[in-house]
Amino acid sequence: MGGAGSLLSWPTRLIQTMFHWVASKFGPVATTFTRLNPAGQDRHALIDFMTRNEFLFHGRPHPTAADVATSISEGAYRDEDNDSFWVDHSELGRIGFLRLEDLSDRSPLFDLRLDGPVRGRGLGVEILRAATTYVFDTMPDVTRFEGQTREDNIAMRKTFVRCGWLKEAHYRDGWPVAGGAPMASVAYSILRRDWESGHTTTFIWDDLVDS
């Protein structure tokens, strides 16, 4: 054993050991996306994920296996407009699902769904940042990336704001609610140029106010 480490004094080695321990506990974590094959090898896991979780802010809060199977056969998870990914976390493993929508447009949308046990930890921020990087890095024609959610989905709305996305619309009564009054649909986006500069630009909302 004649490596450089053995030449270091014991205080230096102790500091190194402590550094590695701290880095492993609190160091940067990585979020990656694994493209899934909804009609093939991932079919069972996708149905399991969608049916074991609840999605209170989606049109279908408790999808059945038949609902998911129909969506798979209709191409909702993968066709020319849609593509789907597992969200993988370097420490927690597989933690969620991401679908990109309207991919034939220069302004795609997304649907992000975390697994129930990992919600409530603020992980949405790093995932949305990673998804934004993925979209702008791999899709050169895309100039803006959009998202919409129901007005009472505060967790998602805070995630948008924390990632530098700008609220652009508040569609009053735009979100039908089964058995209840409609709610608002709130739209956010990030521009490629804002993502590149790291600075969120805005616009004049009341630009035609009569004086």
> Which residues would be at the binding site for ligand COA (CB under 6 A)?
55, 57, 111-114, 119-124, 147, 149, 153-156, 158-159
Which residues make beta-bridge pairs with 32?
88
Q: Which is nearer to ligand COA, 39 or 161 (CB)?
A: 161
Residue nearest to ligand COA (CB): 124
Quick one: 57 or 171, whose CB is closer to ligand COA? 57
CA gap 99, 76 in Å, rounded: 9
Is the CB of 23 or the CB of 154 nearer to ligand COA? Answer: 154
Closest separation between CB of residue 122 and ligand COA, Å?
4
Q: Indicate the residue among 13 and 162 with the shorter CB distance to ligand COA.
A: 162
**Nearer Cβ to ligand COA (47/100):** 100
Report in angstroms the alpha-carbon separations of 160 from 97, 164, 184, 188, 204.
17, 7, 16, 7, 20
Token pair 């995630």: residue: 159
> What 8-state DSSP symbol labels residue 31?
E
The SS3 call for residue 90 is coil
CB 88 within 8 A of CB 33: yes
Which tokens hold the place of 142?
Answer: 């895309």
Enumerate the β-bridge partners of residue 89. Answer: 31, 93
Contact 109, 132 (CB under 8 A): no
